Structure formats: structure tokens, C-alpha cells
Amino acid sequence: MPATAASSARSASLAIDGGAPVSKTPVPFMKVGLTEADIEAATAVLKSGMLRAAKKCAELEERFAAATDAKHGLTCANGTCALQLAYGALLNPGDDVLVPAWTYIATASMIVAAGCRPVFVDALPDTFQIDVRDAEKRLTPKTTAIACTHLYGMPVDVEAVQDLAKRKGLRVIYDAAQSHLATYGGKGIGAFGDAVTYSFYATKNLGTGEGGLVTTNDDATKRKIELLRSHGETDKYLHEQVGFNYRMNDITGAIGCSKLDRLGAETDARRASADRYDAIVGEIDGLTPPGRTAKADGVWHLYTIQMDPAKFTCTRDEFCKALLGEGVPTATHYPRSVTRQPAFKDVVTDHPKVADALAARVLSLPMHHGLGDEQFRIVGEALAKVAGAYRR
Ligand SMILES: Cc1ncc(COP(=O)(O)O)c(C=O)c1O
């Protein structure tokens, strides 16, 4: 029988045990460099002297809202501020708010910052997204809203969320920090819910360093967010309400506009990479590619797979260490569910099971718009070699 790439890779010894690595040059985990166009856009603002939020922030708001099928866009300082603005406009202190147990901490911590109680909901075992049936079971008489993260770039089951919200009279806030330009049912994700929040942190699909944006289709919500964003100011030094300074600046706005010019093409490249990874990972027993939400088109901020510890003699962390030795860096999104964060010890009532188990199973492979044939070869061989070496 002819040896397959996988079987010959298996007989080789791991680089962490002194063997030859699959690649001496590591595959870059991400690609965040600025282009000349980005630098020129930022320089033009510096030369103009107009550093505060002005034309470039306004342009980013208009273009980003249009690109995501939303009516209004509001730039802000970062994705955490975006959540705080959306929650501030849509929640009241004392509310119970459904939120995924499997997400980045900010989705939940800003609920606490708004004076509300997060009610943690389990994840779906294949797509990692919020389990809307579990959300319904966790409703309380004080539940007024559901916050959902479109995690790793994949939209949640928007239809199920909107249906639950309609039946139970809930507000819906989508945290799309990782999901710029994702679509559901052929529409941009800005078309759904009461507000959608974004982060433009340096490593996001559109990264400006720090930065954020909220979209909404409701004029009154837009106005509330504008006031919260800038000290409730309705006229010069006239403050109708207490607010914050969560404004963006025009240097950031200019970088955002410049990067938005190529975000569509870069997103297409990520989608093609995810398809190639699906084929590679799907071949290896014990590893599972990420599931996809029906009707959704994700944007693959992260390509996160699951490793079944029952099939291997090593832990996920040992598996990742061996992959790094072969030239494939990985990352863990996330090492614990949000309910296991010490910060929430006083508000957690239980640890939803699927989310809790994911913490020992997930690993993210290199994902960005610059992956090519050679990188897929290295990742494929390294995965097969490490899986072979640790096969139970
Ligand atoms: C899902 C999610 N929500 C919110 C945030 C917060 O965004 P920022 O870091 O811009 O404050 C992030 C950033 O990592 C995120 O991934």
C-alpha cells in the first residue's frame, strides 16, 4: 500500500523531541501590517492638523454602516466602549441580560458595568455560538435583553434570536467585534437587532490600533448613543445628561477608511482559506473543523478547531506546543469560559456544560488574508504529524 503524506509524517519524530520540524520558518499567525495607502491616509490627517473626530470619522461611519446594511454608524474609542454605549442606550440598571458563557469577557463585563446582571447561556457544540434554546430556558421575570456575540467571525442563528426576542419582548445587542462584513440570510449583520457593536483593535479583520463602532437602525437609539459618547452635550458646554468621552479621532478614522477599501477582498481570502482548512482538518481523526451557522456567511476572524482529548495521549496545550515546534503557532480562544473568570464569581450561578468543556478542546490555527499554498502544506503536514504522534 503506498504511504500517504499523513502516514509518512506519523513515523517521523516530533521537533520537540529532537526531530526535524515540518518548517523551520513559522507560519505567521496573523497579518496586521499597514500598507502605504494606510500610512498616507494617516499622514494626510496629521498634516491637516484636524486630529479630533471630524471628516474621516464621519466617512467611516457612513461607509461602514452601508457595508453592513445598517442605517446609522457611530465611531468610538474601542469595542468595549461600543458595548458600553449600546448597553447604556438600551438597558436599565437592574435588568437581567442573557449573554453567552463562551465569548470574550467584554460582552459580559459591560453588562455588569451598566448595573445589570449577566445571565450566562451555553454554547452550541459545533458552531460555538449562543444556544438560543438554552437562552429561552434561562429567562427570568427581569430579563429585558439578549446580548449575542458573532464569535470568531461566524454569525449566531439570527433568525432564532430575533424570534425569541419578538416573542419575549427583548432588546437585542449583537457583539460583532470579530465579525466585520459577516452576513446572515444574504443581508449584512447590521440589518438585525437594536444595535451591533464592533472593535477595530489592531488584530481584528479591520484593525486601526484601538477603535470601535456601533450601528443601529433606530434614530432614537442613535441619538442616545451620540449623547452618551460625548458627555451628553447638546450645545457647546450644555450637558443634558451624564455621559462619557468615548470618541474616536480622525487619524484612526482615516486608517479605518483606508483599510475598509480592501476589507472585502481580504474577507474573500479568509473565506477561501477556511474552505481549505476544512478539507485539511476534516481528514484527521480527532480534530473537528468549526461548524457553520445555517444561512450565515462568516468572515473567519479566527479559524478555531476542536481537538477531542479522548482520541489523543496529550492535552490540547501539549498538542499546541508540538505544533509550534513544527512551525505552526496556535492560540487558545479561550482558555476558560466566562463563568470561570474570577471577575464574575459573585454573579455566576452555574457553569454551562458545553462552554465549560470547550476550554480544554479549542485551538485557533493561523488565519489571515495572506495564507498561500506553502502555508497550507506546512499546517496540514504538522497537524497530521502531531496527531499521528499522539494518537491513542
Ligand atoms: C467579542 C469581543 N467583544 C468585545 C471586544 C472588545 O473590544 P476592544 O478590545 O476594542 O475593547 C473584543 C476584543 O477582543 C472581542 O473579541
- The amino acid occupying position 150 is H
Mutate which of 201, 204, 304, 364 to test ligand 1's pocket (most atoms within 8 Å of Cβ)?
201
212 alpha-carbon distance from chain centroid = 13
Residue ID of nearest Cα to ligand 1 atom 7: 79
The predicted-structure confidence for 215-233, as pLDDT tens digits, reads as follows 999 999 999 999 999 999 9
C-alpha cell at 44: 494626510
With a CB cutoff of 8 Å and minimum separation 6, the contacts of 370 are 28, 31, 269
Phi and psi based region of residue 18 (left: phi greater than 0; alpha: psi -120 to 50; beta: remaining): left
Cis-peptide, bond into residue 334, ω within 30° of zero? yes
pLDDT at 9: 46
For the chain, report the end-to-end CA distance as a whole number of angstroms.
Answer: 23
**Does the pLDDT value for residue 127 go beyond 80?**
yes
pLDDT at 12: 64
Residue 103 Cβ < 6 Å to ligand 1:
yes
Q: Report, as an integer, the average pLDDT of 198-211.
A: 98
pLDDT at 6: 45
365 DSSP β-pair partners:
303
Of the listed ranges 31-35, 55-59, 229-233, the least confidently predicted one is 31-35
Mutate which of 84, 104, 149 to test ligand 1's pocket (most atoms within 8 Å of Cβ)?
104
Residue 78 Cβ < 6 Å to ligand 1:
yes
Q: Are strands 195-199 and 183-184 parallel, antiparallel or unpaired?
A: unpaired
Q: Taking the alpha carbons of 196, 197, 203, 209 in that order, is the dihedral positive or negative?
A: positive
Nearest to 147 by CA among 221, 78, 73, 97: 97
Looking at every residue in the chain, the average pLDDT score rounds to 96
Distance (Å) from CA 38 to ligand 1 centroid: 22
Give residue 180's pLDDT band: very low, low, confident or very high (50, 70, 90): very high
The predicted-structure confidence for 288-328, as pLDDT tens digits, reads as follows 999 999 999 999 999 999 999 999 999 999 999 999 999 99
Residue 319 Cβ < 6 Å to ligand 1:
no
Distance (Å) from CA 387 to ligand 1 centroid: 32
Using alpha carbons, list the distances in angstroms from residue 164 to 158, 160, 167, 193.
Answer: 10, 6, 5, 12
pLDDT at 7: 43
Q: For residues 242 and 310, what is the distance between their CA atoms, to the nearest angstrom?
A: 54
Atom of ligand 1 nearest to the CA of 83: 4
Q: For residues 200 and 248, what is the distance between their CA atoms, to the nearest angstrom?
A: 11
Atom of ligand 1 nearest to the CA of 201: 10
Distance (Å) from CA 83 to ligand 1 centroid: 9
Nearest to 353 by CA among 339, 371, 365: 339
Q: For residues 14 and 386, what is the distance between their CA atoms, to the nearest angstrom?
A: 7
Q: Report, as an integer, the average pLDDT of 338-349.
A: 97
Burial class (CB in 10 A: 0-12, 13-18, 19+), 55: middle
Q: For residues 223 and 246, what is the distance between their CA atoms, to the nearest angstrom?
A: 15
Domains of the chain from N-terminus onward: 36-258 (3.40.640.10), 263-389 (3.90.1150.10)
Residue 79 Cβ < 6 Å to ligand 1:
yes
With a CB cutoff of 8 Å and minimum separation 6, the contacts of 387 are 284, 285, 286, 287, 312
**Does the pLDDT value for residue 10 go beyond 50?**
no
Q: For residues 323 and 385, what is the distance between their CA atoms, to the nearest angstrom?
A: 9
Q: For residues 110 and 296, what is the distance between their CA atoms, to the nearest angstrom?
A: 27
**Percent of the residues in the chain that have a pLDDT greater than 70, as a whole number:** 97
Mutate which of 178, 205, 252 to test ligand 1's pocket (most atoms within 8 Å of Cβ)?
178
Q: For residues 199 and 207, what is the distance between their CA atoms, to the nearest angstrom?
A: 8
H helices of the chain, where? Answer: 5-11, 36-48, 55-67, 79-90, 105-113, 132-137, 158-168, 219-229, 250-282, 316-326, 353-358, 373-389
Q: Report, as an integer, the average pLDDT of 259-267.
A: 98
Residue 84 Cβ < 6 Å to ligand 1:
no
Residue 109 Cβ < 6 Å to ligand 1:
no
**Does the pLDDT value for residue 147 go beyond 80?**
yes
**Does the pLDDT value for residue 8 go beyond 90?**
no
Residue ID of nearest Cα to ligand 1 atom 12: 177
Q: Are strands 72-76 and 117-121 parallel, antiparallel or unpaired?
A: unpaired
What is residue 286's DSSP assignment? T
